[in-house]
Amino acid sequence: MSKKAAAVAAETPAPAENTAPAKLKKHRRGHPVRNGIIAAGVLAALGVGGFFLVRFLTRPDRVNSQIMTRTADLGSIQSTVQGSGSARSKETAAITLENAGIVQSLFVTEGQVVSEGDPLYEIVSPAAQEALTAAQDQLQDRQDALAKAQQALREDQQTYQDILDDQQLSNDARFVKAPFSGQLQETVRYRVGDKVTRGEKVALLVDDRKFRIPFYFSYAYEGVIQVGQPAALSVGGSDLTGVVEEVNMVRRVTPEGTVLFEAAVVVDNPGALTSGVSANVTLTGPDGVAIYPYGPGTLEYYRTEEIWSEAAKAKNDREPTVVETTILRDYAEVNEGDVLLTLSPEDFSRDIENAREQVRLGENNVTSAQEAVSDAQKSVEEAQEALANFSATAPISGTVTSCTLVEGQEVKSGDTVITIANNTTMVVTIDVDDRNIAYVKPGMTVDLQGNWGDGGTYTGTVTKIDMSLSGDAMGSGMTNYPVTLEVDNADGSLLEGMWLTYSFVTSQSDNCIVVPMQSVKYMSLDSGDTASVVFVESDHRPENAVELDLPELAPGETPTYPSEAEGFYPVAVETGLSDSYNVEITSGLNGGENVFVNYLLEQAYG
């Protein structure tokens, strides 16, 4: 018993002499008065003892308390997230048979490490080979059908284009136009409704704005007469000026034996000239000497062209008819592009619609044939894969995790016979809630611990963050997002299905003021607001101290908060990061203060 407990016991008065219970005896009939006296004594003793017991237990000096403090130091603090997840192989491959057969050879066993391309087994399956041959034949037939459909479509498209071209040509040909400006001659007189045959001459168009006169000169002037040289003309008593347009070194021999070449002179029509008129010309040589031709020349129209009807017969062999003939008259002056004769149009609408419908049907046939070829190609690929499965190689490098084959065994379609897992890289999926998912980034590393802390340590790298979830995925108003980690497992120590705990830092604050988590109290101020408060030990009241309405302690009650009498003042603070033990103070403290943590209680027992 402690000294203080002994002192309390000394202050407690001893009970009355005859109030202690006597040794119990058996009740006997014939002594009711004696039994009543004994019962009253026992009750009196219990009452006195209970009074002093309560007083003993509630005396203030029965609780010794000692204030625990700690200095608000500068340090670092981290906020971390922890959880767990299970490991699985990043890459697995399962081989399933598509046809029945008999196992001829088996090259692997369960647990064996294989490389991609290593042979696994051989199974004899005539049905699989027959299925592949049938699929290949079907593919060839459908490819042939597609080629025919494509050729038919090309022909239909060409027919459609030919009809469109014929329509355009017909539209162009129904308008007989002047190819250049000039004068009409030898015109055919048409009336509206007259039929016009294709290739029929409609008129002769001459360019009478200027004339061309060929002259012949002696070869003695070869090289003297040049293109562009001025020429003095005498036509019908009028003197005109022309120009040498062409020099043609032909060979014309006169009856006198003189050899001549041609020089064509062009002259503008002053308005009263016509073809067939005789003209003389005089040229001047470089030495100023006049040069004369062998004889006079005759005026020819500068350009002459016959105009023909190009309109073809309609599809019903009906020839086009004249719709309008306005300026088709002899000696009429026309400009280039003037319409001389308008013929009835040919109706191509039905032919165009029929050809367009045929093209549409051809396109549908090609599409259907392409789909049929695609289906046949898939059938061939499936048949090839099925046949390959009967003489399979490892699709990936890894460990054979299961093998159900035995040599000589008969297997059936649909059996999954071998499974390979690549455990060099493992995948761990963890769940991160919406409070911390923003801190997770692709490429970030996460520390992993195997078997709840008893296994090895690993490092995972974030490769995928699934943000597609929405709503209350945890059933507590919070959403969990799956995060995929890849873990290097070159030594093979991480096994399929192994549970791992993880942790990663979400945020960190360095060179900050840190206090124990118990030092921060959440108190109601006199204003009614709630504030985070730290009790600071000081010999005077700090400027940022706040007023609190602290409850008074009853006698013997354990204290909760230190008082100003003990040298502690409440100061409002703002907090930042926290971990399992400490909390960051972002404002309210300067660092170095001695802050209240808790009371250390020493209880005395009697």
Residue 125's pLDDT band (cuts 50, 70, 90):
confident
Which of 165-174, 271-280, 590-599 is predicted least confidently?
165-174
Q: Looking at residue 157, what is its pLDDT?
A: 93
Cβ atoms of residues 128 and 106 within 8 Å: no
Q: Looking at residue 156, what is its pLDDT?
A: 93
Cβ atoms of residues 358 and 157 within 8 Å: no
- Exposed / middle / buried, residue 193 (Cβ in 10 Å: 0-12, 13-18, 19+): exposed
CA–CA dist 597, 70 (Å, integer): 7
Of all residues in the chain, what percent are helix, strand and coil, respectively (each to 5)?
Answer: 25, 40, 35
CA–CA dist 190, 103 (Å, integer): 95
CA–CA dist 18, 41 (Å, integer): 7
Q: Is the pLDDT of residue 571 over 80?
A: yes
Q: Decide which of 37 and 340 is more confident.
A: 340
Q: Looking at residue 481, what is its pLDDT?
A: 86
Comparing CA positions, the residue from 124, 147, 127 lying closest to residue 135 is 127
Q: Looking at residue 452, what is its pLDDT?
A: 55
Comparing CA positions, the residue from 198, 203, 205 lying closest to residue 174 is 198
Q: Is the pLDDT of residue 292 over 90?
A: yes
CA–CA dist 558, 146 (Å, integer): 96
Fold topology of 67-71+511-603 = 2.40.420
Which of 341-345, 464-468, 470-474 is predicted least confidently?
470-474
In this structure, how many other beta carbons lie within 10 angstroms of the beta carbon of residue 73?
13
3-state secondary structure of 599: strand
How do beta strands 410-411 and 101-106 pair? antiparallel
3-state secondary structure of 274: coil
Tens-place pLDDT, residues 521-530: 988 777 777 8
Q: At what angle do helices 349-389 and 126-173 cross, to 10 degrees?
A: 160
Q: Looking at residue 550, what is its pLDDT?
A: 77
Residue 111's pLDDT band (cuts 50, 70, 90):
confident
Residue 88's pLDDT band (cuts 50, 70, 90):
confident
Residues 17-20: contacts with CB within 8 Å, 24+ apart?
19/44, 19/45, 19/48, 20/45
Q: Decide which of 25 and 199 is more confident.
A: 199
CA–CA dist 105, 23 (Å, integer): 97
CA–CA dist 117, 392 (Å, integer): 9
Q: Looking at residue 471, what is its pLDDT?
A: 45
Q: Residue ranges per domain, the chain?
A: 3-57, 67-71+511-603, 126-135+145-174+347-388, 182-343
Tokens for 502, please give them.
């993880």
Tokens for 89, please give them.
């192989």
CA–CA dist 17, 33 (Å, integer): 20
Beta bridge partners of 284: 290
CA–CA dist 36, 44 (Å, integer): 12
Tens-place pLDDT, residues 383-418: 888 777 677 888 888 889 899 999 888 888 888 889
Q: Is the pLDDT of residue 24 over 80?
A: no
Beta bridge partners of 79: 507
Q: Looking at residue 313, what is its pLDDT?
A: 55
Residue 19's pLDDT band (cuts 50, 70, 90):
very low
Mean pLDDT in residue range 536-541: 92
CA–CA dist 479, 502 (Å, integer): 19
Residues 326-332: contacts with CB within 8 Å, 24+ apart?
327/184, 328/184, 328/187, 328/188, 328/189, 328/190, 328/202, 328/203, 329/184, 329/187, 330/184, 330/185, 330/186, 330/187, 331/183, 331/184, 331/185, 332/183, 332/184, 332/187
Residue with tokens 């209970």: 50
In this structure, how many other beta carbons lie within 10 angstroms of the beta carbon of residue 107?
15
Which of 16-20, 75-79, 286-290, 539-543 is predicted least confidently?
16-20
3-state secondary structure of 476: coil
Which of 106-120, 122-136, 246-260, 274-288 is predicted least confidently?
122-136
How do beta strands 278-284 and 300-308 pair? unpaired
Q: Is the pLDDT of residue 501 over 80?
A: yes
The DSSP symbol for 230 reads E
Residue 18's pLDDT band (cuts 50, 70, 90):
very low
Cβ atoms of residues 500 and 87 within 8 Å: yes
Which of 22-26, 223-227, 418-422, 577-581 is predicted least confidently?
22-26
Which residue type sits at 544? N
CA–CA dist 575, 50 (Å, integer): 49
State residue 184 phi and psi, 5-degree precision: -85, 140
Q: Decide which of 459 and 310 is more confident.
A: 459
Kindly give, in sequence order, each residue whose CB lies less than 8 Å from that of residue 182, ignoring residues fewer than 6 positions away: 205, 206, 207, 208, 209, 303, 333, 334
Cα end-to-end distance, the chain, whole Å = 6
Concatenated DSSP letters of 536-554:
EE-SS--TTB--B-PPPPP
Q: What is the pTM of this model?
A: 0.38
Tens-place pLDDT, residues 127-161: 778 888 999 999 999 999 999 999 999 999 999 89
3-state secondary structure of 60: helix
Tens-place pLDDT, residues 190-234: 888 888 887 889 999 999 999 999 999 999 999 999 999 999 999
Cβ atoms of residues 487 and 87 within 8 Å: yes
What is the average pLDDT score of the chain? 81
